[in-house]
């Protein structure tokens, strides 16, 4: 019996963790500061302007795409 409970708990933790990771990849929530330049922004804004958002998206895409995967 204990096994089943352990497995269920482990599975839901993994699921929860994955959901968290996916959310983090998209963008962190409002922090009070621009995610790109750390300038103070009003709720619920996450960037001070669209340039910062674009820069941040470029930057976060760079992290996800590993270099050295050029294939012809």
Q: Which residues bind Zn ion (CB under 5 A)?
A: 34, 36-37, 39, 48, 52
Minimum distance, C-beta of residue 65 to Zn ion, in the bound complex (Å)? 23
Residue (43 or 69) nearer to Zn ion, CB: 43
Residue (7 or 30) nearer to Zn ion, CB: 30
Q: What angle do CA 57, 55, 61 make, to 5 degrees?
A: 30
Minimum distance, C-beta of residue 34 to Zn ion, in the bound complex (Å)? 3
Minimum distance, C-beta of residue 4 to Zn ion, in the bound complex (Å)? 49
Instruction: Report the candidate in 21, 49, 22, 20 with the shortest Cα–Cα distance to residue 36.
Output: 49
């Amino acid at each position: 019996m204990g096994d089943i409970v352990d497995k269920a708990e482990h599975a839901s933790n993994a699921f929860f963790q994955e959901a968290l990771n996916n959310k983090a990849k998209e963008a962190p929530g409002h922090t009070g500061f621009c995610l790109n330049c750390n300038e103070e922004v009003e709720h619920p804004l996450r960037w001070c302007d669209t340039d910062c958002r674009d820069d941040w998206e470029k930057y976060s895409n760079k992290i996800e795409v590993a270099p050295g995967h050029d294939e012809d």
